[in-house]
Chains A and B, each alone.
Chain A
Amino acid sequence: ETGVTQSPTHLIKTRGQQVTLRCSSQSGHNTVSWYQQALGQGPQFIFQYYREEENGRGNFPPRFSGLQFPNYSSELNVNALELDDSALYLCASSLEVAGVADTQYFGPGTRLTVL
């Protein structure tokens, strides 16, 4: 067990709605990354937060946004949901020291279904 938790486990939304997914990092980790894993695919990097600021972003539109809080927990927000947003959303925490990021440890994921 990695110590990274995510909530909720499953979620069903309809097209056009907004969703917030939550992640609690492993104790001592200061960096959180979010990934989207569609069925049959590998995880796709969405963005990373380090000390409450976005620190790298993948090829996702601005309707995907995030927050990292002082206690290093994190949220992923998706606005104007589309059917293709249906996927497993994974959060990974890691420790970055002097600009060098350590191994990422993943939570169990949130399964989002958009109808």
Chain B
Amino acid sequence: DQQVKQNSPSLSVQEGRISILNCDYTNSMFDYFLWYKKYPAEGPTFLISISSIKDKNEDGRFTVFLNKSAKHLSLHIVPSQPGDSAVYFCAAGAGNNRKLIWGLGTSLAVNP
């Protein structure tokens, strides 16, 4: 039972264009969400997070949008750069529950 779903295993984007990575969740108790990026042979690197009291959070080229009614969030990267090529994971948590629930990841390839 996958509570956090990333339905696109891979995405390919041209350098300079926008990358949009999507994530859906089923548990309405989740109240904070995070995006991590992972390169091969490295641990996940924190990118950006959003609390359920917000619908948008922006940090440089990265913006996360949250649609609570649709139980959907998305990560926008603009402009995309070849160095952004990695696997992106969406993770969710509820309150002070220590357990983060992760999606399966989306592999992003940014082509020069």
Cβ of A106 and Cβ of B96 under 8 Å apart?
Answer: no
Q: Is B100 an interface residue (CB 8 A)?
A: yes
* Count of A interface residues, CB-CB < 8 Å: 27
Closest B residue to A58 by beta carbon equals B99
Nearest neighbor of B2 in chain A, beta-carbon distance: A42
Chain B 38-61: CB-based contact to A (< 8 A → 1; otherwise 0): 000111111001000000000000
> Contacts A48-B98, A58-B99 hold; do A103 and B46 have CB atoms under 8 A apart?
yes
Chain B: interface residue count, which band? 20 to 34
Which of B63-71, B73-81, B102-110 lies at the interface with chain A?
B102-110
CA distance A24 to B12 in the complex (A): 36
B46 and A105 contacting across the interface, CB-CB below 8 Å: yes
Q: A33 on the interface (CB 8 Å rule)?
A: yes
What is the bound-complex CA distance between A99 and B42, given in angstroms? 29
With both chains docked as a complex, state the minimum distance between the C-beta of B35 and any C-beta of chain A, in angstroms: 11
A4 contacts partner chain B, Cβ-Cβ < 8 Å? yes
Cβ of B25 within 8 Å of any chain A Cβ, yes or no, is no
A8 within 8 A of B: no
Are the C-beta atoms of A33 and B98 separated by less than 8 Å? yes
- The answer on a CB contact under 8 Å between B49 and A56 is no
Which residue of chain A has the shortest Cβ distance to B101 in the bound complex? A45
With A40-B104, A41-B104, A103-B34 in contact, do A56 and B43 touch (Cβ < 8 Å)? no
A75-91 residues with Cβ-Cβ distance < 8 A to B are 90-91
What would be 30 A-B contacts, judged by CB atoms less than 8 Å apart?
A2-B45, A4-B43, A6-B43, A42-B4, A42-B89, A42-B91, A42-B102, A43-B44, A43-B89, A43-B100, A43-B102, A45-B98, A45-B101, A48-B98, A56-B98, A56-B99, A91-B43, A99-B96, A101-B96, A101-B98, A103-B34, A103-B46, A103-B49, A104-B46, A104-B100, A105-B46, A106-B43, A108-B41, A108-B42, A109-B42
* A positions within 8 Å CB-CB of B: 2, 4, 6, 33, 40-45, 48, 55-56, 58, 90-92, 99-101, 103-109
Chain B residues engaging chain A, CB cutoff 8 angstroms? 4, 34, 36, 41-46, 49, 89, 91, 96-105
